[in-house]
Structure 1
Amino acid sequence: MTAPALFSLGNALVDQEFLVDDEFLGHAELNKGTMQLCDAAQQAKLVEYLAEAEHKGQASGGSAANTTVAFSALGGTSFYACRVGNDDLASFYLKDLASVGVQTDEKSKSAGQTGTCIVLITPDGERTMYTHLGITAELSADQIHFDALKSAEWLYIEGYLATSPSAIEAVKLSRDIAKKHQVKMAISLSDPAMVQYAKAGLDALIDDGVDVLFCNEQEALMFTSTSHLDDAVQALLERAETVAITLGSKGALIASREQETFTVQGQAVQAVDTNGAGDAFAGGFLSALVKGQSLQEAATLGNLVASKVVSQFGPRLSLEQYQALL
């Protein structure tokens, strides 16, 4: 195994994307732009309602996985720790990661059903997700190859893990190992729903702080219980050395304890699917940092990758598209 620059922990999910309108979301009682958890029966019922909707395809997803794929495709070495089942979706998922050089371990496989996510895309490009975690809800330390973490430069944690007690414990152990081996840590708040319903879990994942915290503007305000972004930034800097807040088409705001806060302008594109945008930004950002580039250069690359992801359907680009961005 090649020593990874990035070691990531996250939920392994296979995405199914559909085009719908706002009226459909209302009938389905889904909150637009957020992720909602469900069981297998509830998800199957939603799929029945989608019989006449346009299906845009299947993709291996999961927040941290999307970030790790971008990082790897941009030239970094990576490892992804997750939990998948013993079904065909698991084979599809792990093969997809391997195709862009993301390393995994056989410990990720176990009896059960691989998680799935129904991604509903409205005409404005916003994504709404209905997720059945399957076996990934039980991600624990037993699925994590800690030797790979010991040699990494960065540990990356997705905020969606905040709903799983066993995953929170796994993250705690991972953080202890990262500290012992001087591995930097980054986390994403992942989704407004996580901030609203799993704040205690997010606090546990962040614990006594991280090197980089990723979030969007809405998540920043909700997490800090503030109404102004400047106040949110100051509160977040108490939990992270660097804060990267994505602002959609306006770009990203970067704040650091060591330098002045600044904004990097976004790319002018027609957004058709925002699924994976924040994940793509984090992948580009961390890729640049590992190469020794500045925070401004990291945010610029993050914006560029995210802008390409939102301009097409699906949470990821092709390997060729990532490499062309370099």
Structure 2
Amino acid sequence: MTVTGPMTTGDAVTTGDALLIVGDVVTDVVARYRSPLAYGTDTVAEIRTLPGGAGANAACWAVRTGCADVRILARVGAGDRDWHEERLRRSGVRAQLVVDETAPTATVISLVDTSAERTFLTDNGAALRLCPADWSPALLDGVGRLHLSGYLFFSATSRRLTAAVLESARERGIPVSVDPASTGFLVELRTGSFLTAVDGVDTLLPNADEARLLAGRQDVSEAAAELSRRTPLVVVTLGAEGALVAQAGAVTAHIAADRVSAVDTTGAGDAFTGAFLAARLAGADPASAAEEGCRAGTLSVTTTGGRPPEEDGEPPVPQPGPPQAGRSG
């Protein structure tokens, strides 16, 4: 296994103030178009290649919100490992990237219409090949909170990894959060299987559609309340309507979001997750943390892509490179 970054036991923070995200690093191709898609011919669009991934995006937003030690474990293809590592480093994230010699880095084509709504075409690539051999309990040294990207629950290989990670976290008493990630993938996996896999986590962070699907309730408030009977804290993102906080079978807060002119909603939920987790790690109560999440989510939709805007310009497009030493799993 080849990894990058200084996340070693000897280098670990021992005060429990770090956030570890086990998730996905993705190459995003974002296409914003203003006229209806013309089947069988050309549609003019603004297209950009950007670093992304639910886990990586959340990590970057956690740093943006003030968390000083944010780490991510993910698997990428060899060809553009350096580009993704550099993007994360520039955002302040300590990356441990497992190099996959067989599969390329996951790629998502995000089609963004005039309402800023996005539709994804997803090639999971190396992301869902993260496996138990890539995990060590030592990665939890100095960690105060652990977050699992929901995408990891949608393949047998990465699901075995999540089981190992959850066991390690429980042994150390580290709180764990999960975002369900995708209604499409939840339907394929079956909601009961997902809920069983995340049994025992401390916080569930679905969007409204995911909450309705998982709870089997059409009313989102009822869905949030129902899910909180199973998971101690449930925070449901509502897009422009803010977020709901539910605990012990009841909705305890409805957080409003500021109204802005949205450009691209790609990664808005990731922004919410990163800011929410950073605030919780700093000691905020769930409602206050959800307010931080809504602020980040609102900011994220005013720019293209799922990461915080960079002050020094856009990163260069990754170029194919020769394979590097590593291990596939």
2:173 maps to which residue?
A: 182
2:74 maps to which residue?
A: 82
CA distance in 2, matches of 1:204, 1:86: 34
* Change in CA separation of 1:258 and 1:131 when aligned onto 2, cut-off 3 Å: closer
2:20 maps to which residue?
A: 7
1:110 and 2:123 matched: no
Structure 2, unaligned runs of 5 or more: 1-10, 313-329
1:127 and 2:118 matched: yes
1:288 and 2:288 matched: no
Q: Is the 8 A contact 1:159 1:194 kept in 2?
A: no
CA distance in 1, matches of 2:276, 2:128: 28
1:244 maps to which residue?
A: 235
Task: For 1:253, give the aligned amino acid.
Answer: L
Offset of residue 72 of structure 1: 2.0
Q: Is the 8 A contact 2:228 2:250 kept in 1?
A: no
1:243-293 CA distance string (max 9 Å, x none) = 111111111111123986110111110111110001100111111111111
CA distance in 2, matches of 1:119, 1:258: 35
Offset of residue 146 of structure 1: 3.1
CA distance in 1, matches of 2:83, 2:75: 14
Percent identity, please. 25
Please list, as runs of the form range in 1=range in 2, the aligned pairs for 1:52-91 lying within 5 A after superposition.
53-76=44-67, 77-87=69-79, 89-91=80-82
Q: Is the 8 A contact 2:271 2:296 kept in 1?
A: yes
SS of structure 1 residue aligned to 2:232: strand
2:32 maps to which residue?
A: 19
* Change in CA separation of 1:291 and 1:254 when aligned onto 2, cut-off 3 Å: same
SS of structure 2 residue aligned to 1:313: coil
Task: For 2:150, give the aligned amino acid.
Answer: G
Task: For 2:101, give the aligned amino acid.
Answer: A
Task: For 2:30, give the aligned amino acid.
Answer: E
Tell me the number of residue pairs that the alignment of Structure 1 and Structure 2 aligns.
Answer: 296
Match for residue 277 of structure 1 among 268, 276, 279: 268
CA distance in 2, matches of 1:246, 1:269: 16
CA distance in 2, matches of 1:15, 1:205: 28
CA distance in 2, matches of 1:52, 1:71: 36
Q: Is the 8 A contact 2:224 2:235 kept in 1?
A: no
CA distance in 2, matches of 1:255, 1:202: 19
* Change in CA separation of 1:199 and 1:152 when aligned onto 2, cut-off 3 Å: farther
The structure with the largest helix share of the pair is: 1
Task: For 1:135, give the aligned amino acid.
Answer: A
1:310 and 2:323 matched: no
Q: Normalising by structure 1, what TM-score?
A: 0.84
Q: Is the 8 A contact 2:112 2:119 kept in 1?
A: yes
1:202 maps to which residue?
A: 194
Match for residue 301 of structure 1 among 292, 299, 304: 292
Offset of residue 185 of structure 1: 0.4
* Change in CA separation of 1:219 and 1:22 when aligned onto 2, cut-off 3 Å: farther
Task: For 1:163, give the aligned amino acid.
Answer: F
* Change in CA separation of 1:320 and 1:179 when aligned onto 2, cut-off 3 Å: farther
Please list, as runs of the form range in 1=range in 2, the aligned pairs for 1:202-281 lying within 5 A after superposition.
202-206=194-198, 208-257=199-248, 261-281=252-272
1:201-228 CA distance string (max 9 Å, x none) = 523431x221111011111111111122
Q: Is the 8 A contact 1:159 1:190 kept in 2?
A: yes
CA distance in 1, matches of 2:45, 2:254: 37
Task: For 2:128, give the aligned amino acid.
Answer: A
Q: Normalising by structure 2, what TM-score?
A: 0.83
Query: Relative contact order: is structure 1 or structure 2 higher (C-alpha 8 Å, sep ≥ 6)?
Result: 2
Offset of residue 104 of structure 1: 2.1
Q: Is the 8 A contact 1:216 1:246 kept in 2?
A: yes
CA RMSD after TM alignment: 2.3
Please list, as runs of the form range in 1=range in 2, the aligned pairs for 1:152-167 lying within 5 A after superposition.
152-167=143-158
